[in-house]
Structure 1
Amino acid sequence: MKRRDFFKKGSKAAIAAGILPLASSSCASQKSITNTTSKDKWNHLGKGKIGVSNRKKEIDFEVVIIGGGAAGICAAVASARNGAKTVLIQDRPVLGGNASSEMRVHLNGVNNIKGKAERETGIIEELLLLNRFENEQESFSVFDHVMYDFVIREPNLTLMVNTQAVEAIMDGTVIKSAKCWQATTETLYTINGKVFIDCSGDGLLAATAGAEYRTGREGKQEFNENFAPEKADGWQMGATLLMSSKDMGKPMHYSPPSYAIKYTHEGAHKRRKFAGFQDGIWWIEVGSNDDIIADAEINRHKLMGYLHGVWDYIKNSGNFPEAENLALDWVGSLPSRRESRRFIGDYVVSEKDMTQHKNFYDAVAFGGWSLDEHNPGGIENISEPPSYFHYHFKSIYQFPFRSLYSKNISNLMFAGRNVSQTHIALSSSRIMATCALQGQAVGTAATLCVQHATTPKDIGTKYINQLQEQLLRDDAFIPNKVANDNADLAKQASTLFADSTSSGNILNLTNGISRDINGEINHWQSKNTSAEIQLEWDTPLNISKIELKCDTNLSRNIMMRKDSRNDALYGNSIPKEMLKTLSIQGRVNGKWIDLGGINQNKTRLIKFSFDTQKVTAIKINLKETYGAKKIKLFEVRCYA
């Protein structure tokens, strides 16, 4: 494969000084990130001549999560909500990773199975729903702030932005601390923790810990993968730089900058199309056959040149008259990376695990985006298609917990594109909402590690059912796994009935399956715009929590798109099916008392907590949706 060299004069030497070494011993000697105050000549006019205050700090947490993309956000929120003292460390000023305003990639997930979505639920859906409430204008910059609010409102969760974890401090095979450099405050933090989760994508912390990893493409024979190359090689899918344009209502001139790389489209493959170019072109992409992390700044510069070269072609070649009034209104400067390190767990997920829908006893997440092998050379190999194939799944596949923790570092887990999988498997599971499901799984597992004073490996062997049950309770979905929480008192109700039914069965609310799937109905739906559901017990029992799962139309995606698409597969508003207003009552000593109410519900998983009441019945008054004429529920749970 031919790669052109646009750097003739020492560009590699120019960036080498900015690369941190990966070996733990080397990182320990990095003087550039430690504070030396003996030569500081600060003259504080308010206090007199003083030295710089101590900017080395040490903080203790139970769970330490590196990387604030979709996976890291969901891991951190899951960990905090389940009771662990948690910190989320993000090296950028904003959260969201590739979905942030810095990169603006659609937060895709399963997206489309058999012409219908099988959308993710749980924490990632809660975040996307909140964005529909708080960001009706669909601004990526506002989405940054929605994500920020979503994280910092959690009482057990501390957020540290502009902070990079640069070194793992080890005690044998256990990570004791993460050395972190916060650039904005010139502070070197030592973050102590019991469990560490690397959701950063590139996985610098995990690499400095000595966690085993690989890069590149496996050969066909290693995992018997149909879509793998014949022999292993070093190629990794490239990073992309996006842009967006605006119709100015008049002809707009464009002159490319000095670093633009001339683009002609001559000899380009017919599948390199320009549809939707107004919102960016994903195949402006550069990969690597070697160290894609070390090449990051070289590739960033190339991508900026290619982006402007392609836009120059669109504006000035005469082939796109529809672009006459368009002008760039945003240009990315931070490429969106698809692939680098893949850390090795107790199981390596491969192509056939997905295509043959392997049933894992330790399944904790799912995916369904197509296997999507990009052209390794990206835009530097325009004679070949930008993506070689899409293997479209007919149903979703499982992802096992054994692929989400390190095989050789005992308290380290992963979520995102750096998990234990082959290159071909990565081509599907790298999608952000799939990574988010992995994040919720490991964040929940981390709290179990703390509670049981054990390792992720032990969670996978001794406590896997507890992990799966908690994920299902928290509205994650695990294919082929039916919830059976012994603490759920709704399952003990002697009678469960509704005042009307138009579809489904009221008993579906306790059948352990919280969505309609594979053509099977698992819901109850009323006949009217309001309804009542009642649970009865033969003897009084104590209840302090009631949890419901309502309808948010999982056949329609709700992630924000640059084109604000609104059709059968994508919705750009609050799902009209979602329950808006409801209240609950309990029968105590023969009389109904109010236990709680919500006037503007914003989540699929609806929770009520109240002082413990000894009841013989619970009545759920469903009053209003966001526009649907009937009310649909999938689950009711009650807890002491």
Structure 2
Amino acid sequence: MKRRDVFKNGAVAASIIPIVGCASDDAGLAGERASDNWLQLSKGERGLPDRKETVHYDVAVLGGGIAGICAAVSAARNGAKTVLVQDRPVLGGNASSEMRVHLNGVTHLRPDNKAERETGIIEELLLHNRFNNKQESWPVWDHLLYDFVISEPNLELMLNTQATEAVMNGNTIVVAKCWQLTTETEITIKAKQFIDCSGDGLLAATAGAFYRTGREGKKEFGEKYAPDEPDGWQMGATLLMHSEDMGEPMPFTAPSWAIPYDAEKSNPKRKFNGFHNGLWWMEVGSDGDIIAEQEIIRDKLMAYSYGVWDYIKNSGQIPGAENHALTWVQSLPGKRESRRFIGDYILKEGDLLNHKHFEDAVGYGGWSLDEHCWGGIENLEDPPSYFHYHFHKVYEIPYRSLYSKNIANLSFAGRNISQTHIALSSSRLMATCATMGLAVGTGAAMCVQRKCNPRDIATHHINELQEQLLRDDAFIPHRPAHDPKDLARKADLIAASATVSGDPKLLTDGVSRDFEGVEHGWESHGLPAEVIMEWEEPVKLSKVEIKCDTNVKRNIMMRKDSKVSFNFWNDVPTELLKSLDVEARINGKWVKVGSNDDNRRRLIKFDFDQVRASGVRINLKETYGAKNAKLFEVRCYAS
């Protein structure tokens, strides 16, 4: 919801309609409205509440987790009128204050455990948090996500709203029927493109999209880490806890419904290190309908969690637990797996392990193959996770895995994409899902512009999609940018002031980070510093776009332990440029066309009235602490 519409959006307002007769067929999700006997005292009238609304958008994104946020924002920024529908009161999904899961992705590539951090919209979100949430509060993080979304001018937000049913015209979704719990409103969303980022994928399922659940057997895709035969097991959901040292002994008595933890039967890999921040292995899975069983699973998790806490507090086996007391217990289980929808390509174990190159690559991952124990805490004998494989470099994710095989205008991002159970064990990480969201949101906007569907983008326009993603600060491994509209690539001279490393000519090589040991940027020797681009013949110029350094080899997500180490940082990256300006040489004179003394983004954009310029000069003034400034890309455009 836009800021200006907070108090007048129809989805959150109710009106009264005078009773003129009984409409016996006016039943909806709230029940039979003809029997609603409402006396509105301020008007002295009896009537029926009018709580039905129809709205129109270009793109509808279902699910407001990290993938959904990235999909919605990218669609809106690329010109599509977009709505983001979230069934909770907060955004963020598993990363929200309701669940507080670290926003991991390519967090620890072996052998040095360095990151290969995801950029684009997810980078903006993490930096937004580092600037505005130094206290690292989870509820504040929720509201920063809210701020980020509602500040986007082409994007509307519906919270506490779930898409419950797709209305079809052949193999095309024309309507998503939604229910907003807080306002008892039935909302009909008509859109041209639909993106299901909800995890469970209810809208996609009701549309008739092909999907599967459970584990594939070894033979189907030749997966060595799959079970011998297919079965129904899906990775479990978790309830986390948080405790604090209160400085004095804090007694604990387990509730009557707690299930005692049997330490003697437990695998030794079920460890209690950092117990005060929760134990991810307190989970329950399913070999059946994990969605239908969700309330049962939640009740079990509550019982198991309090049983584990009873063991921590009262067994005498956990050092330091005596003075700890619970300060927060998760109530909504954080899910890992349910429906996996079928696209034109099913991503599988071998694609990840062999680092298969896809011509339609749009995202990437690199978390370990981390298949959690079947049964979860109900299978204590096995280790909590089978860390099958630790990646040394990233793998690619193809666009063909991000849209439906049989529903024409339906895309996915998140854990519900077209992949096997084993592939999911790595790709389910939220920052990895963010790369998918950025891709499908951009793709959906292209579909609207070109009046086509995602398969057409994959078949005929994948180069344009990749180019737009790269311009928007996505990273696609082994796919450098070569935008023909970028005037910087046509510059006759690229030079810079004193240099510590790199070459200023690398600023147009199409790769916006140092990657796999190869340098792709230029670093100044001290500050201030400058980069100059010149053309023999003047060019029309109205945009300069710069990608600066934020040290993507170091993680900046919020953690419960506020960790600072060689690969974690809990503040604004010191390498980020804070102050710079841009000049254009017009008729032989340098004229300032843009400045920014409070930069907070890796992708820095300057838009100005078009000029004819024979050169551009970027003056780098200050970082957030680093003594040198480093750039990875400079682009220039006429419009």
TM-score (norm 1): 0.95
Are the structure 2 counterparts of residues 555 and 351 from structure 1 closer, same or farther at C-alpha, using a change threshold of 3 Å? same
Deviates more, 1:528-537 or 1:232-241: 528-537
What is the alpha-carbon distance in structure 2 between the residues aligned to residue 30 and residue 257 of structure 1? 46
Aligned to 1:18: none
Instruction: Quote the offset at 1:307 in angstroms.
Output: 0.7
Find the counterpart in structure 2 of residue 24 from structure 1.
Answer: none
Deviates more, 1:116-125 or 1:286-295: 116-125
Decide whether the 8 Å contact of 2:524 with 2:628 is kept in 1. yes
How far apart are the structure 1 equivalents of 2:514 and 2:288? Answer: 45
Give a deviation string over 1:514-550, Cα, whole Å, max 9, x none.
Answer: 0001100001000012201111111111111110000
Q: What is the alpha-carbon distance in structure 2 between the residues aligned to residue 77 and residue 490 of structure 1?
A: 27
- In the alignment, what sits opposite 2:510? 512
Aligned residues: CA RMSD: 1.1
SS in 2 for 1:130: helix
Q: Is the 8 A contact 2:272 2:318 kept in 1?
A: no
Where does 1:472-551 land on structure 2 (aligned, <5 Å)? 472-551=470-549
CA offset digits 1:312-350 (Å, max 9, x no partner): 100011112401111100000000000000000000000
- State the match for 1:552 in structure 2: 550
Q: Is the deviation greater in 610-619 or in 201-210?
A: 610-619
Structure 1 equivalent of residue 626 of structure 2: 628
Aligned to 2:329: 331
Equivalents in 1 of 2:208, 2:478: separation in Å? 35
CA contact (8 A) 2:28 2:186 kept: no
For residue 378 of structure 2, give the secondary structure of its aligned residue in structure 1: helix
1:35 and 1:56 in contact (8 A); partners too:
no
SS at match of 1:217: coil
1:40 is displaced (CA, Å) by: 1.7
- Structure-2 residue corresponding to 1:272: 270
Partners of 1:581 and 1:599 within 8 A in 2: yes
Cross-structure match for 1:134 = 132
Determine the structure 2 residue equivalent to 1:41.
Answer: 37
Aligned mates of 1:631, 1:245 — CA distance in 2: 41
Q: What is the CA distance between 1:225 and its match in structure 2?
A: 0.3
Instruction: Look up the equivalent residue of 1:588 and give its one-letter code.
Output: I
Distance 2:395 2:387 in 1: 19
Q: Distance in 1 between matches of 2:169 and 2:208?
A: 12
Match of 1:407, SS state, is: coil
Where does residue 78 of structure 2 map in the other structure? Answer: 82
- Aligned with 1:92 (options 88, 93, 99): 88
Is the contact between residue 167 and residue 209 of structure 1 (CA under 8 Å) also seen in structure 2? yes
Q: Distance in 2 between matches of 1:602 and 1:501?
A: 24
The aligned counterpart of 2:101 is: 105
Cα distance in 2, alignment partners of residues 577 and 223 from structure 1: 44
Partner of 1:400: 398
Correspondent of 1:369 among 352, 356, 367: 367
* Equivalent of 1:315 in 305, 313, 316: 313
Equivalent residue, structure 2, for 1:580: 578
Whether 2:179 is the aligned partner of 1:181: answer: yes
For residues 165 and 321 of structure 2, the distance between their equivalents in structure 1, rounded to whole angstroms, comes to 48
Opposite residue 219 of structure 1, the aligned amino acid is: G
Q: Which amino acid aligns with 2:76?
A: A
Paired position in structure 2 for 1:52: 48
Among 214, 221, 224, which residue is 1:223 paired with? 221
CA distance in 1, matches of 2:587, 2:423: 58
**In structure 2, how many angstroms separate the alpha carbons of the residues matched to 1:274 and 1:396?**
30
Code of the aligned partner of 2:204: A
Moved more, 191-200 or 317-326: 317-326
* Matching residue within 455, 458, 462 for 1:457: 455
Which runs of structure 2 are paired with 1:119-518 in the superposition (5 Å)? Answer: 119-518=117-516
Please give the secondary structure, in 2, of the residue aligned with 1:38: helix
* Residue 19 of structure 1: aligned partner: none
Amino acid at match of 1:66: L
Give the Cα separation in 1 of the matches to 2:246 and 2:541: 60
Query: 1:391 Cα deviation (Å)?
Result: 0.4
Shift of 1:54: 1.4
Equivalent-residue separation in structure 2 for 1:573 and 1:639 (angstroms): 33
**How far does the alpha carbon of each residue in 1:10-55 deviate from its partner, in whole angstroms, 9 at most, with x for none?**
xxxxxxxxxxxxxxxxxxx995615533222211111112313311
1:73 to 69, 73, 82: 69
Distance (whole Å) between structure 2 residues aligned to residue 283 and residue 51 of structure 1:
53
Counterpart code for 2:39: N
CA distance in 2, matches of 1:625, 1:168: 49
Question: Deviation digits for residues 31-83 of structure 1, max 9, x if unmatched?
Answer: 56155332222111111123133111000000000000010000001000111
Shift of 1:593: 1.5
1:336 counterpart letter in structure 2: G
Superposed, which structure 2 residues align to 1:11-50 within 5 Å? 33-34=29-30, 36-50=32-46
One-letter amino acid of the counterpart of residue 70, structure 2? C
Q: Structure 1 397/40 Cα, relative in aligned 2: closer, same or farther at 3 Å?
A: same
Report Cα offsets for 1:594-625 as digits up to 9, x if no partner: 11111111111111111111111111110000
Tell me, yes or no, if structure 1 residue 609 matches structure 2 residue 607.
Answer: yes
* Equivalent residue, structure 1, for 2:10: none
3-state DSSP class of the match of 1:328?
A: strand
Q: Is the 8 A contact 1:235 1:287 kept in 2?
A: yes
Identity over aligned pairs, percent = 62
2-structure distance, mates of 1:257, 1:535: 70
Checking the alignment, whether the CA contact within 8 Å between 2:364 and 2:394 is kept in structure 1 is yes
Rounded to whole Å, the distance in 2 between the matches of 1:32 and 1:467 is 41
Query: 1:104 deviation in Å?
Result: 0.4
Letter of the structure 2 residue corresponding to residue 429 of structure 1: S
Aligned 8 A contact 2:527 2:628 in 1: yes
Whether the aligned pair in 2 keeps the contact of 1:181 and 1:189 (CA below 8 Å) is yes
Distance 1:96 1:202, change over 3 A: same
Tell me the amino acid that sits aligned with residue 38 of structure 1: A
SS across alignment from 1:257: coil
Q: Is the 8 A contact 1:529 1:628 kept in 2?
A: no
CA distance in 2: counterparts of 1:609 and 1:583, whole angstroms: 12
Alpha-carbon deviation of 1:264? 3.0
Q: Which amino acid aligns with 1:190?
A: T
- TM-score between both structures, scaled by the size of structure 2: 0.95
Size of the aligned set, in residue pairs, is: 612
Tell me if structure 2 keeps the 8 A contact 1:35–1:55: no
CA distance 1:328–1:153, shift in 2 (3 Å): same
Counterpart CA distance in 1 for 2:26 and 2:208 is: 18
Q: Which residue of 2 aligns with 1:23?
A: none
Map Cα deviations across residues 115-145 of structure 1 (whole Å, 9 max, x no partner): 2111111110110111000100001110000
Question: 2:330 & 2:448 partners in 1: Cα distance?
Answer: 40
Tell me the SS of whatever aligns to 2:194. strand
Whole-angstrom CA distance in 2 between matches of 1:274 and 1:63? 45
For 1:101, give the aligned amino acid: S
1:7 is matched with which residue?
Answer: none
Amino acid at match of 1:616: S
SS of corresponding position for 2:209: coil
Provide the rounded CA distance (Å) in 2 between the counterparts of 1:198 and 1:285.
Answer: 25
Q: 1:30 to 1:84 in 2, by over 3 A?
A: same
SS at match of 1:256: coil
Aligned to 2:16: none
Whether contact under 8 Å (2:34, 2:48) holds in the other structure is no
For the residues of structure 2 that align with 1:619 and 1:195, how far apart are their CA atoms?
Answer: 41
